[in-house]
A and B are shown apart, each in its own frame.
Chain A
Amino acid sequence: MEAFDYLAPHSLLEAYAALGNGRRSLMLAGGTDVIVQLREDRRHCDQLIDLKHIPEMMSMKLTPEGRLEIGAAKPLAEIYEDGEIARRFPALIDSATIIGGTAIQSRASFGGNLCNASPAADSAPALMALAARLVIGSSRGTREMPVEEFFLGPGRNALQPDELLLQVIVPAQPAHSGAFYHRFIPRNEMDIAVASAGARITLDAAGERIESVRVALGAVAATPLMVAGANTAVVGKPPTAETFALAGQAAAELATPITDMRGSIAQRKHLASVLTVRALEGALLRLRENH
Protein backbone atom coordinates (compact mmCIF):
# COMPACT_ATOMS: atom_id res chain seq x y z
CA MET A 1 0.00 0.00 0.00
CA GLU A 2 1.28 3.50 -0.81
CA ALA A 3 2.08 5.68 2.19
CA PHE A 4 -0.38 8.38 3.28
CA ASP A 5 -0.95 10.63 6.26
CA TYR A 6 -3.74 9.91 8.70
CA LEU A 7 -5.83 12.79 10.01
CA ALA A 8 -8.51 12.49 12.68
CA PRO A 9 -10.32 15.84 12.90
CA HIS A 10 -12.68 16.33 15.83
CA SER A 11 -14.97 18.86 14.14
CA LEU A 12 -16.41 19.56 10.71
CA LEU A 13 -14.45 22.82 10.58
CA GLU A 14 -11.20 20.93 11.07
CA ALA A 15 -12.25 18.42 8.41
CA TYR A 16 -13.12 21.17 5.89
CA ALA A 17 -9.76 22.84 6.56
CA ALA A 18 -7.97 19.55 5.88
CA LEU A 19 -9.98 19.09 2.68
CA GLY A 20 -8.85 22.52 1.53
CA ASN A 21 -5.13 22.06 2.11
CA GLY A 22 -4.42 21.14 -1.51
CA ARG A 23 -3.49 17.51 -0.94
CA ARG A 24 -5.32 14.50 -2.39
CA SER A 25 -7.81 13.36 0.25
CA LEU A 26 -9.89 10.26 0.81
CA MET A 27 -12.40 9.84 3.62
CA LEU A 28 -12.30 7.04 6.15
CA ALA A 29 -15.54 5.98 7.81
CA GLY A 30 -15.79 2.20 8.31
CA GLY A 31 -12.89 1.64 5.93
CA THR A 32 -14.29 -1.62 4.60
CA ASP A 33 -14.14 -0.32 1.03
CA VAL A 34 -11.50 2.41 1.09
CA ILE A 35 -8.78 0.49 2.96
CA VAL A 36 -9.11 -2.41 0.53
CA GLN A 37 -9.12 -0.03 -2.47
CA LEU A 38 -5.95 1.70 -1.22
CA ARG A 39 -4.29 -1.65 -0.66
CA GLU A 40 -5.20 -2.81 -4.15
CA ASP A 41 -4.04 0.46 -5.78
CA ARG A 42 -7.57 1.21 -6.96
CA ARG A 43 -7.62 4.55 -5.13
CA HIS A 44 -4.80 6.88 -4.12
CA CYS A 45 -4.46 9.69 -1.59
CA ASP A 46 -1.93 11.84 0.23
CA GLN A 47 -4.08 11.97 3.32
CA LEU A 48 -6.82 9.79 4.73
CA ILE A 49 -9.30 11.76 6.84
CA ASP A 50 -10.97 9.70 9.57
CA LEU A 51 -14.48 11.08 10.08
CA LYS A 52 -15.41 8.99 13.11
CA HIS A 53 -14.24 11.53 15.69
CA ILE A 54 -16.66 14.17 14.39
CA PRO A 55 -19.84 14.03 16.50
CA GLU A 56 -22.19 14.96 13.62
CA MET A 57 -20.86 12.06 11.56
CA MET A 58 -21.65 9.49 14.25
CA SER A 59 -24.99 10.81 15.47
CA MET A 60 -28.41 9.26 15.02
CA LYS A 61 -31.68 10.97 15.85
CA LEU A 62 -35.34 10.11 15.45
CA THR A 63 -37.37 13.32 15.60
CA PRO A 64 -40.81 13.46 17.26
CA GLU A 65 -42.29 13.74 13.73
CA GLY A 66 -40.75 10.38 12.81
CA ARG A 67 -37.90 11.66 10.67
CA LEU A 68 -34.63 9.75 10.99
CA GLU A 69 -31.30 11.59 10.75
CA ILE A 70 -28.26 9.34 10.50
CA GLY A 71 -24.67 10.59 10.63
CA ALA A 72 -22.92 9.48 7.46
CA ALA A 73 -20.26 7.43 9.30
CA LYS A 74 -22.61 5.72 11.78
CA PRO A 75 -21.92 1.96 11.71
CA LEU A 76 -24.74 -0.20 10.33
CA ALA A 77 -24.85 -2.46 13.40
CA GLU A 78 -25.57 0.52 15.65
CA ILE A 79 -28.48 1.44 13.38
CA TYR A 80 -30.16 -1.95 13.06
CA GLU A 81 -29.73 -2.78 16.75
CA ASP A 82 -32.03 0.15 17.59
CA GLY A 83 -35.42 -1.49 18.06
CA GLU A 84 -37.47 1.64 17.44
CA ILE A 85 -35.71 2.36 14.15
CA ALA A 86 -36.07 -1.28 13.08
CA ARG A 87 -39.80 -1.10 13.81
CA ARG A 88 -40.36 2.16 11.94
CA PHE A 89 -38.06 1.58 8.96
CA PRO A 90 -37.91 -2.17 8.28
CA ALA A 91 -36.78 -1.61 4.68
CA LEU A 92 -33.73 0.22 6.01
CA ILE A 93 -32.96 -2.79 8.17
CA ASP A 94 -33.47 -5.11 5.16
CA SER A 95 -30.44 -3.46 3.58
CA ALA A 96 -28.31 -2.71 6.67
CA THR A 97 -28.33 -6.36 7.74
CA ILE A 98 -27.09 -7.71 4.38
CA ILE A 99 -24.27 -5.28 3.58
CA GLY A 100 -21.30 -7.59 4.17
CA GLY A 101 -21.31 -9.85 7.20
CA THR A 102 -21.31 -9.16 10.91
CA ALA A 103 -17.72 -7.92 11.02
CA ILE A 104 -18.31 -5.53 8.13
CA GLN A 105 -21.51 -4.20 9.70
CA SER A 106 -19.59 -3.28 12.89
CA ARG A 107 -17.77 -0.66 10.82
CA ALA A 108 -19.50 0.03 7.49
CA SER A 109 -21.90 2.96 7.22
CA PHE A 110 -24.72 4.08 4.94
CA GLY A 111 -22.61 7.14 4.09
CA GLY A 112 -19.68 5.03 3.02
CA ASN A 113 -21.87 2.62 1.06
CA LEU A 114 -23.42 5.56 -0.82
CA CYS A 115 -20.15 7.45 -1.42
CA ASN A 116 -18.51 4.29 -2.75
CA ALA A 117 -21.24 4.50 -5.39
CA SER A 118 -21.33 0.88 -6.44
CA PRO A 119 -24.30 0.23 -8.76
CA ALA A 120 -24.96 -2.78 -6.51
CA ALA A 121 -24.84 -0.86 -3.20
CA ASP A 122 -27.55 -2.41 -1.05
CA SER A 123 -28.34 0.81 0.81
CA ALA A 124 -29.21 2.75 -2.34
CA PRO A 125 -32.50 1.18 -3.55
CA ALA A 126 -33.79 0.92 0.03
CA LEU A 127 -33.07 4.58 0.74
CA MET A 128 -34.47 5.61 -2.64
CA ALA A 129 -37.70 3.73 -1.97
CA LEU A 130 -37.96 5.54 1.38
CA ALA A 131 -37.42 8.91 -0.35
CA ALA A 132 -34.27 9.60 1.66
CA ARG A 133 -32.33 12.83 1.23
CA LEU A 134 -28.64 13.53 1.71
CA VAL A 135 -27.11 16.49 3.53
CA ILE A 136 -23.81 17.56 2.00
CA GLY A 137 -21.50 20.07 3.66
CA SER A 138 -18.44 22.12 2.88
CA SER A 139 -16.83 25.30 4.17
CA ARG A 140 -19.27 27.07 1.80
CA GLY A 141 -22.35 25.75 3.62
CA THR A 142 -24.69 22.80 3.29
CA ARG A 143 -26.98 21.53 0.55
CA GLU A 144 -29.48 18.68 0.25
CA MET A 145 -30.35 16.32 -2.56
CA PRO A 146 -32.55 13.25 -3.05
CA VAL A 147 -30.41 10.14 -2.73
CA GLU A 148 -31.21 9.09 -6.31
CA GLU A 149 -29.40 12.16 -7.66
CA PHE A 150 -26.18 11.30 -5.82
CA PHE A 151 -24.89 8.62 -8.20
CA LEU A 152 -23.08 9.62 -11.40
CA GLY A 153 -21.61 6.26 -12.44
CA PRO A 154 -19.76 3.27 -11.01
CA GLY A 155 -17.61 4.63 -8.16
CA ARG A 156 -18.57 8.24 -8.92
CA ASN A 157 -20.80 10.44 -6.77
CA ALA A 158 -22.02 14.03 -6.83
CA LEU A 159 -19.65 15.36 -4.15
CA GLN A 160 -17.38 18.24 -5.09
CA PRO A 161 -13.74 17.89 -3.96
CA ASP A 162 -14.33 20.18 -0.96
CA GLU A 163 -17.57 18.49 0.12
CA LEU A 164 -18.45 15.82 2.66
CA LEU A 165 -21.58 13.71 2.91
CA LEU A 166 -22.81 14.59 6.40
CA GLN A 167 -26.18 12.95 6.94
CA VAL A 168 -28.71 10.56 5.51
CA ILE A 169 -32.24 11.76 6.22
CA VAL A 170 -35.14 9.35 6.03
CA PRO A 171 -38.35 11.36 6.17
CA ALA A 172 -41.36 10.31 8.22
CA GLN A 173 -43.12 7.72 6.07
CA PRO A 174 -46.61 8.38 4.69
CA ALA A 175 -49.70 6.93 6.37
CA HIS A 176 -50.93 3.67 4.79
CA SER A 177 -47.50 2.85 3.41
CA GLY A 178 -45.07 -0.05 3.67
CA ALA A 179 -41.59 -0.62 2.26
CA PHE A 180 -39.32 -3.56 1.49
CA TYR A 181 -35.84 -4.20 0.07
CA HIS A 182 -34.28 -7.43 -1.18
CA ARG A 183 -31.72 -8.71 -3.64
CA PHE A 184 -30.91 -11.85 -5.59
CA ILE A 185 -27.63 -13.61 -4.77
CA PRO A 186 -26.61 -17.20 -5.50
CA ARG A 187 -25.62 -17.91 -1.89
CA ASN A 188 -27.58 -17.16 1.27
CA GLU A 189 -25.47 -14.36 2.79
CA MET A 190 -22.37 -12.23 2.29
CA ASP A 191 -22.55 -11.54 -1.40
CA ILE A 192 -22.98 -8.71 -3.87
CA ALA A 193 -26.35 -8.33 -5.54
CA VAL A 194 -26.83 -9.81 -9.00
CA ALA A 195 -29.82 -7.47 -9.00
CA SER A 196 -31.87 -5.87 -6.25
CA ALA A 197 -35.08 -3.92 -5.73
CA GLY A 198 -36.55 -1.67 -3.09
CA ALA A 199 -40.18 -0.60 -3.06
CA ARG A 200 -42.56 1.52 -1.06
CA ILE A 201 -46.28 1.34 -1.61
CA THR A 202 -48.82 3.88 -0.35
CA LEU A 203 -52.53 3.06 -0.48
CA ASP A 204 -55.57 5.29 -0.05
CA ALA A 205 -57.22 5.43 3.37
CA ALA A 206 -59.59 2.61 2.45
CA GLY A 207 -56.65 0.41 1.48
CA GLU A 208 -58.16 -0.33 -1.92
CA ARG A 209 -56.24 1.81 -4.44
CA ILE A 210 -52.58 2.63 -4.90
CA GLU A 211 -51.79 6.27 -4.24
CA SER A 212 -48.15 5.90 -5.20
CA VAL A 213 -45.21 3.53 -5.36
CA ARG A 214 -41.51 4.21 -5.24
CA VAL A 215 -39.51 1.44 -6.91
CA ALA A 216 -35.71 1.50 -7.10
CA LEU A 217 -33.31 -1.04 -8.60
CA GLY A 218 -29.70 -1.97 -7.91
CA ALA A 219 -27.06 -3.64 -10.12
CA VAL A 220 -29.03 -3.32 -13.38
CA ALA A 221 -27.50 -0.05 -14.64
CA ALA A 222 -24.40 2.12 -14.18
CA THR A 223 -26.07 3.65 -11.12
CA PRO A 224 -28.87 2.62 -8.78
CA LEU A 225 -32.04 3.34 -10.72
CA MET A 226 -35.32 4.99 -9.75
CA VAL A 227 -38.19 3.47 -11.77
CA ALA A 228 -40.56 6.40 -12.22
CA GLY A 229 -42.54 4.37 -14.76
CA ALA A 230 -43.54 1.89 -12.07
CA ASN A 231 -45.57 4.58 -10.33
CA THR A 232 -47.19 5.72 -13.57
CA ALA A 233 -48.16 2.14 -14.37
CA VAL A 234 -49.92 1.39 -11.09
CA VAL A 235 -51.25 4.63 -9.60
CA GLY A 236 -55.01 4.45 -8.91
CA LYS A 237 -55.15 0.68 -9.43
CA PRO A 238 -55.88 -1.97 -6.79
CA PRO A 239 -52.78 -3.59 -5.23
CA THR A 240 -53.08 -6.92 -7.02
CA ALA A 241 -50.67 -9.31 -8.72
CA GLU A 242 -51.80 -7.98 -12.12
CA THR A 243 -51.02 -4.43 -11.06
CA PHE A 244 -47.64 -5.33 -9.62
CA ALA A 245 -46.76 -7.12 -12.86
CA LEU A 246 -47.11 -3.77 -14.64
CA ALA A 247 -44.56 -2.23 -12.27
CA GLY A 248 -42.28 -5.20 -12.87
CA GLN A 249 -42.56 -4.66 -16.60
CA ALA A 250 -41.65 -0.98 -16.21
CA ALA A 251 -38.59 -1.99 -14.15
CA ALA A 252 -37.36 -4.49 -16.73
CA GLU A 253 -37.83 -1.96 -19.54
CA LEU A 254 -35.80 0.70 -17.74
CA ALA A 255 -32.96 -1.62 -16.71
CA THR A 256 -29.78 -1.41 -18.81
CA PRO A 257 -27.66 -4.12 -17.20
CA ILE A 258 -24.34 -5.58 -18.29
CA THR A 259 -23.19 -9.18 -18.47
CA ASP A 260 -20.43 -9.94 -15.98
CA MET A 261 -19.31 -12.74 -13.65
CA ARG A 262 -22.42 -12.30 -11.49
CA GLY A 263 -25.09 -12.46 -14.14
CA SER A 264 -26.14 -11.84 -17.73
CA ILE A 265 -28.17 -9.04 -19.29
CA ALA A 266 -31.16 -11.34 -19.81
CA GLN A 267 -31.02 -12.69 -16.27
CA ARG A 268 -30.78 -9.22 -14.76
CA LYS A 269 -33.67 -7.86 -16.83
CA HIS A 270 -35.77 -10.80 -15.69
CA LEU A 271 -34.67 -10.25 -12.09
CA ALA A 272 -35.54 -6.55 -12.28
CA SER A 273 -39.12 -7.51 -12.98
CA VAL A 274 -39.41 -10.40 -10.51
CA LEU A 275 -37.65 -8.56 -7.68
CA THR A 276 -39.85 -5.49 -8.23
CA VAL A 277 -43.05 -7.54 -8.01
CA ARG A 278 -41.85 -9.32 -4.88
CA ALA A 279 -40.61 -6.10 -3.26
CA LEU A 280 -44.07 -4.60 -3.79
CA GLU A 281 -45.66 -7.73 -2.31
CA GLY A 282 -43.33 -7.48 0.68
CA ALA A 283 -44.10 -3.79 1.08
CA LEU A 284 -47.85 -4.48 0.90
CA LEU A 285 -47.57 -7.22 3.51
CA ARG A 286 -45.82 -4.83 5.89
CA LEU A 287 -48.46 -2.18 5.26
CA ARG A 288 -51.23 -4.68 6.08
CA GLU A 289 -49.43 -5.91 9.20
CA ASN A 290 -49.35 -2.35 10.52
CA HIS A 291 -53.11 -1.91 10.27
Chain B
Amino acid sequence: MARTQVQSRINGVDTDFLCEPRQSVLEVLRDELGLTGSKEGCNNGNCGACSVLLNGRVVNSCCVLGVELEGAELTTIEGIGNPDKLHPLQQAFLEEAALQCGICTPGFIVSAKALLDAEPHPDEHRVRFWLAGNLCRCTGYDKIVRAVLKAADQMPEKV
Protein backbone atom coordinates (compact mmCIF):
# COMPACT_ATOMS: atom_id res chain seq x y z
CA MET B 1 0.00 0.00 0.00
CA ALA B 2 1.32 3.40 -0.99
CA ARG B 3 2.51 5.56 1.84
CA THR B 4 1.71 9.23 1.94
CA GLN B 5 4.09 11.95 3.01
CA VAL B 6 2.68 14.14 5.77
CA GLN B 7 4.15 17.41 7.04
CA SER B 8 3.17 18.33 10.57
CA ARG B 9 4.50 19.99 13.67
CA ILE B 10 4.80 17.69 16.67
CA ASN B 11 5.80 19.02 20.09
CA GLY B 12 7.12 22.19 18.50
CA VAL B 13 9.30 20.40 15.93
CA ASP B 14 8.54 20.32 12.21
CA THR B 15 7.99 16.63 11.56
CA ASP B 16 7.63 14.91 8.19
CA PHE B 17 6.64 11.30 8.13
CA LEU B 18 5.32 8.60 5.81
CA CYS B 19 2.22 6.63 6.67
CA GLU B 20 -0.57 4.58 5.16
CA PRO B 21 -4.01 6.20 5.12
CA ARG B 22 -5.32 3.50 7.46
CA GLN B 23 -2.76 4.23 10.18
CA SER B 24 -4.06 6.18 13.15
CA VAL B 25 -2.16 9.05 14.70
CA LEU B 26 -1.54 6.75 17.66
CA GLU B 27 0.09 4.17 15.37
CA VAL B 28 2.14 6.85 13.64
CA LEU B 29 3.35 8.23 16.96
CA ARG B 30 4.25 4.89 18.46
CA ASP B 31 5.35 2.82 15.44
CA GLU B 32 6.77 5.40 13.02
CA LEU B 33 8.06 8.20 15.25
CA GLY B 34 9.06 6.32 18.42
CA LEU B 35 6.88 8.54 20.61
CA THR B 36 5.50 5.83 22.89
CA GLY B 37 4.20 8.07 25.67
CA SER B 38 0.68 7.97 24.22
CA LYS B 39 -0.84 4.62 25.18
CA GLU B 40 -3.21 2.27 23.41
CA GLY B 41 -6.01 1.23 25.72
CA CYS B 42 -9.28 0.46 23.97
CA ASN B 43 -8.35 1.66 20.44
CA ASN B 44 -11.96 2.77 19.93
CA GLY B 45 -12.33 6.18 21.55
CA ASN B 46 -13.61 5.15 24.96
CA CYS B 47 -10.63 5.16 27.33
CA GLY B 48 -8.62 8.31 26.56
CA ALA B 49 -5.20 6.70 27.16
CA CYS B 50 -4.09 7.97 23.74
CA SER B 51 -5.21 11.58 24.27
CA VAL B 52 -3.16 14.20 22.41
CA LEU B 53 -3.71 17.85 21.57
CA LEU B 54 -4.54 18.44 17.90
CA ASN B 55 -4.32 22.14 17.09
CA GLY B 56 -4.82 22.78 20.80
CA ARG B 57 -7.87 20.55 21.29
CA VAL B 58 -7.80 17.24 23.07
CA VAL B 59 -8.59 14.28 20.79
CA ASN B 60 -8.25 10.51 20.95
CA SER B 61 -5.27 9.78 18.69
CA CYS B 62 -6.68 6.31 17.93
CA CYS B 63 -9.64 8.05 16.24
CA VAL B 64 -7.61 10.39 14.02
CA LEU B 65 -5.75 9.25 10.91
CA GLY B 66 -2.08 10.08 10.45
CA VAL B 67 -2.84 11.58 7.03
CA GLU B 68 -5.13 14.09 8.75
CA LEU B 69 -2.07 15.66 10.40
CA GLU B 70 -1.03 17.41 7.19
CA GLY B 71 -0.38 21.00 8.25
CA ALA B 72 -1.51 20.29 11.81
CA GLU B 73 0.09 20.99 15.15
CA LEU B 74 0.24 18.14 17.65
CA THR B 75 1.23 18.03 21.31
CA THR B 76 1.82 14.66 22.97
CA ILE B 77 2.80 13.84 26.55
CA GLU B 78 6.44 14.06 25.39
CA GLY B 79 5.84 17.76 24.72
CA ILE B 80 4.56 18.51 28.21
CA GLY B 81 7.22 19.22 30.84
CA ASN B 82 10.60 17.43 30.93
CA PRO B 83 12.52 15.40 33.52
CA ASP B 84 14.27 18.51 34.80
CA LYS B 85 11.18 20.66 34.96
CA LEU B 86 7.91 18.85 35.35
CA HIS B 87 4.69 20.52 34.29
CA PRO B 88 2.65 21.55 37.37
CA LEU B 89 0.16 18.79 36.49
CA GLN B 90 2.90 16.17 36.48
CA GLN B 91 4.24 17.45 39.80
CA ALA B 92 0.76 17.43 41.32
CA PHE B 93 0.09 13.88 40.06
CA LEU B 94 3.24 12.72 41.87
CA GLU B 95 2.46 14.59 45.08
CA GLU B 96 -1.14 13.40 45.20
CA ALA B 97 -0.25 9.81 44.20
CA ALA B 98 -2.67 10.18 41.30
CA LEU B 99 -1.32 7.15 39.46
CA GLN B 100 -0.75 3.50 40.16
CA CYS B 101 -0.13 1.40 37.05
CA GLY B 102 0.39 4.54 34.98
CA ILE B 103 -1.12 3.46 31.66
CA CYS B 104 -3.87 6.09 31.78
CA THR B 105 -1.61 8.84 33.15
CA PRO B 106 -0.30 10.39 29.90
CA GLY B 107 -3.87 10.70 28.64
CA PHE B 108 -5.06 12.27 31.89
CA ILE B 109 -2.18 14.79 31.89
CA VAL B 110 -2.81 15.75 28.25
CA SER B 111 -6.56 16.05 28.74
CA ALA B 112 -6.19 17.98 32.00
CA LYS B 113 -3.72 20.34 30.34
CA ALA B 114 -6.29 21.09 27.66
CA LEU B 115 -8.78 21.90 30.42
CA LEU B 116 -6.44 24.21 32.32
CA ASP B 117 -5.38 25.91 29.08
CA ALA B 118 -9.03 26.67 28.35
CA GLU B 119 -10.26 27.19 31.92
CA PRO B 120 -7.49 27.94 34.45
CA HIS B 121 -9.75 27.60 37.52
CA PRO B 122 -12.28 24.79 37.02
CA ASP B 123 -14.29 23.48 39.98
CA GLU B 124 -14.36 19.81 40.92
CA HIS B 125 -17.53 19.09 38.95
CA ARG B 126 -16.03 20.65 35.87
CA VAL B 127 -12.83 18.59 36.21
CA ARG B 128 -14.81 15.38 36.58
CA PHE B 129 -17.03 16.20 33.61
CA TRP B 130 -14.05 17.16 31.40
CA LEU B 131 -12.13 13.99 32.28
CA ALA B 132 -15.11 11.66 31.84
CA GLY B 133 -13.53 10.34 28.62
CA ASN B 134 -10.37 9.24 30.45
CA LEU B 135 -10.69 5.92 32.24
CA CYS B 136 -8.57 4.79 35.20
CA ARG B 137 -8.99 1.35 36.73
CA CYS B 138 -6.60 1.90 39.65
CA THR B 139 -7.10 5.15 41.50
CA GLY B 140 -10.85 5.55 41.76
CA TYR B 141 -10.36 9.04 40.26
CA ASP B 142 -10.41 11.04 43.51
CA LYS B 143 -6.64 11.42 43.61
CA ILE B 144 -6.54 12.42 39.96
CA VAL B 145 -9.21 15.06 40.46
CA ARG B 146 -7.39 16.37 43.54
CA ALA B 147 -4.14 16.57 41.57
CA VAL B 148 -5.74 18.53 38.74
CA LEU B 149 -7.32 20.98 41.19
CA LYS B 150 -3.98 21.37 42.98
CA ALA B 151 -2.17 22.04 39.71
CA ALA B 152 -4.79 24.61 38.80
CA ASP B 153 -4.15 26.39 42.11
CA GLN B 154 -0.41 26.35 41.61
CA MET B 155 -0.18 27.22 37.96
CA PRO B 156 0.74 30.68 36.80
CA GLU B 157 -2.05 32.12 34.67
CA LYS B 158 -0.42 30.81 31.49
CA VAL B 159 2.16 28.04 31.25
Chain A residues with a Cβ under 8 A of chain B: 1-6, 8, 28, 30-32, 35-36, 38-40, 48, 50, 52, 75, 77, 100-104, 106-107, 188-190
Contacts and interface: CB of A to CB of B under 8 A. Distances in A.
Contacts of B70: 8
Contact of B63 (A40, A75, A102, A107): A107
B64 A31 contact: yes
Given A101-B131, A189-B129, 8 more contacts: A3-B1, A36-B63, A38-B22, A50-B68, A100-B133, A106-B59, A107-B64, A188-B132
Interface string B104-147: 00000001001100000000000011111110000000000000
A37 to B, nearest CB: 9
A102 B115 CA distance: 9
Interface residues of B, number: 34
B76 interface: no
A35 B65 contact: yes
29 contacts: A3-B21, A4-B21, A6-B21, A8-B70, A31-B63, A32-B60, A35-B65, A39-B43, A50-B68, A52-B68, A75-B57, A100-B133, A101-B132, A102-B130, A102-B131, A102-B132, A102-B133, A103-B45, A103-B51, A104-B60, A104-B63, A106-B58, A106-B59, A107-B59, A107-B64, A188-B128, A188-B132, A189-B128, A189-B129
Interface of B: 1, 4, 20-22, 24, 43-46, 48, 51, 54, 57-60, 62-65, 67-68, 70, 111, 114-115, 128-134
Contacts of B65: 6, 28, 31, 35, 48
Contacts of B68: 28, 31, 50, 52
Nearest to A97: B129
Given A104-B60, A106-B57, A4 B129 contact: no
Contact of A102 (B21, B58, B62): B58
A32 B43 CA distance: 11
B133 A190 contact: yes
A35 B132 contact: no
Contacts of A4: 21-22
B67 A6 contact: yes
A192 to B, nearest CB: 11
Contacts of A32: 45, 60, 63
Given A3-B20, A4-B22, A31-B64, A104 B130 contact: no
B59 A103 contact: yes
A190 B63 contact: no
B21 A104 contact: no
A32 B58 CA distance: 13
Nearest to B115: A102
A274 B82 CA distance: 52
Contacts of B57: 75, 77, 106
